[in-house]
Amino acid sequence: MTETLGFCQEMRPESCGFVLFGATGDLAARKILPALYGLCEKKIAPGNFYLVLAARTPQDRPALENRLWNTLTRAGFSPSPEVFSSFLGRLEYLQADYASPAFFGRLAAALTRLDGKFGVKNKRLFYLATPPEAFEGITASLKTAGLLFDPKDCKCWSRVIIEKPYGSSLESAAAVDAGLKQAAPEDQVYRIDHFTGKETVQNLLALRSANAVFDNTWNNRFVDHVQLTVFEELGLEGRAAFFEKLGLARDMMSHILQLAAIISMDLPETFRDTDFKASKRRFFESLRVLSPQEVRTSVVRGQYAGYAAESGVAAGSRTETFLALKLLIDSDRWRGVPFYVRAGKRSGVKRTRLDIVYKKPEQGIFRHIDIGYPNVFSFSIQPEETVSFSLISKHPGPKLCFARRSMGLDYRPEGGEAASYPTDYERLLIDAMSGDQTLFLSSAEMSGMWRFLSPILTAWREDAAGNPLHVYPDGAPGPAAADELITKDGRVWV
């Protein structure tokens, strides 16, 4: 058992009803339904809790149960008959017609009935796992049907969860947000980027907050540069229709900037979500927006060689599957420290990782000898969740030789304890049930992301000659141009 010290805070999800719109979709099957089941299996779900699955596709009860079983086994569960049957006992399916007030009337009646049956008092989460085009219509109808409460009026709450990415530009994303806000104020909207639910990402902040040795050196006096890698081994996996419209930059930019924000934001005064969000907002305000000329020199886009032959990809598609870029932060702490980013599909390995690369020695015996970067603080986020710090030490033996060594932090729980810990989606659902917005994205963060991303997309569209699409071999960590992006600054990928 790991010993915990001093500060220890636990989220307690409140009793509530959970309505999942778009329940027949890919996100529901791969992430949300497994997370809801996981919460029940791990006994983390609130005691009084029920689920309404809603979608337009008609489904009778046996078809629903069969589908759920397949969904859970595909997600890696071996559901026990007791837990599965208790899960089924907590859920109902409603065929949706989002254009019809009668449907929302039926939903309201079902929620009142289920509140009574499960001992819940007007506390509801609405997860919009539909395409973003449907968000505004659904929330407006929920409001009209009296299902979005103002917590000031009663001891009740209603929260709306949506998933990034939405919109294709700053303006279209703002329009989605504006539509949502007409029905639900910002403190009732929970925007998910599941990277923030990962243990290592949260540990980044914990390590900084509790160990002054790190945070005090986490600045432009000591750090040479930061590297951020988000590689996927897989390609499209049959999701061409989704990805062709989106491209890697739109798919990944939120993850990239959330990770950059969590490394570089000033530490909040408290762990309260409002303080946390204020710090994160300052990061987005200090992110340097690239000019068209800087996009040419600081951003690389690529496509893996086999992409054109993937089923569902349009002939001559210029959708990028790889992105490398250098981003700069205009804050006293980080001015002059580049953040180099690589993200790609079919990049040979599955790896999400942050490396904080400290400066080389400027004094002492090694000032004239290039030993590379002696100190790299690395956070591996997936597939394994580890933290390590590399340093140069004396090689054992009679000679005075130096060798690179690494200290690892094994903070994952041991043995069976690990299985009882929530996954990223489970953690985020608990937080939403607890009313804690710390790990969710604000509309200001979404705007900040689009202020950064839009000029890149515009430059790619309007200046194709200056921003070529580099083809890279399947399984390679991007095109040669991505290496040049960092080597021309006298640095290398770690």
Ligand X SMILES: NC(=O)c1ccc[n+]([C@@H]2O[C@H](COP(=O)([O-])OP(=O)(O)OC[C@H]3O[C@@H](n4cnc5c(N)ncnc54)[C@H](OP(=O)(O)O)[C@@H]3O)[C@@H](O)[C@H]2O)c1
Q: Is 323 in the site for ligand X (CB under 6 A)?
A: no
Six-digit token pair at 409? 């932090």
DSSP 366: G
196 binds ligand X (CB under 6 A): no
**Residue 383, preceding peptide bond in cis (omega within 30° of 0):** yes
β-strands 16-21, 49-55: how paired?
Answer: parallel
Q: How far is CA 281 from the centre of its chain?
A: 16
130 near ligand X, judged by CB under 6 A:
yes
Tokens of 218: 């986490």
Residue in the block written with tokens 């590399």: 390
Q: By CB under 6 A, which span of 18-26, 76-84, 227-235, 469-477 interacts with ligand X?
A: 18-26
Q: Which is nearer to ligand X, 338 or 344 (CB)?
A: 344
Nearer to ligand X, 133 or 410 (CB): 133
Options 51, 53, 55, 262; binder of ligand X; rule CB under 6 A: 55
CB of 247 to ligand X, least distance (A): 13
Beta-bridged to residue 377, according to DSSP, are: 356, 389
Q: Active-site residue numbers?
A: 255
Nearer to ligand X, 22 or 38 (CB): 22
Q: From the CB of 425, what's the least distance to ligand X, in Å?
A: 11
56 lies in the site for ligand X, by CB under 6 A: yes
Query: Is 139 a residue that touches ligand X (CB under 6 A)?
Result: no
Cβ distance 390 to 406 under 8 Å?
yes
- For the bound state, the minimum distance from the C-beta of residue 165 to ligand X, rounded and expressed in Å, comes to 6
Helix (H) or strand (E) holding 33: helix 33-41
CA distance 150 to 374: 55
Mask: binding to ligand X, 60-99, rule CB under 6 A, as x and -? ------------------------------------x-x-
Tell me the angle at which helices 33-41 and 424-434 cross, rounded to the nearest 10 degrees.
80
Our CB check for ligand X shows the closer of 134 and 305 to be 134
62 preceded by a cis bond (ω within 30 of 0): no
Query: Which lies closer to ligand X via its Cβ, residue 259 or residue 356?
Result: 259
Collect all residues with Cβ–Cβ distance below 8 Å to 444 and sequence separation of at least 6: 277, 281, 284
Cα angle value 267/272/275 (rounded, 5°) = 50
Candidate list 24, 227, 229, 442; residue touching ligand X; CB under 6 A: 24
Report which residue type is found at 424: D
Span of 105-113, 125-133, 312-320, 372-380 interacting with ligand X by CB under 6 A: 125-133
Is residue 341 involved in binding ligand X (CB under 6 A)?
A: no
CB of 53 to ligand X, least distance (A): 10
What is the per-residue binding string for ligand X in 156-195, x denoting contact by CB under 6 A?
A: -------x--------------------------------
Secondary-structure percent of the chain, ordered helix, strand, coil, rounded to 5: 45, 20, 35
Name 364's Cβ contacts closer than 8 Å, sequence gap at least 6.
Answer: none
Q: Which is nearer to ligand X, 50 or 425 (CB)?
A: 425
Q: Which of 13, 17, 34, 132 binds ligand X (CB under 6 A)?
A: 132
Residues lying near ligand X in the complex (CB under 6 A) are found at: 22, 24-28, 30, 55-57, 96, 98, 129-134, 163
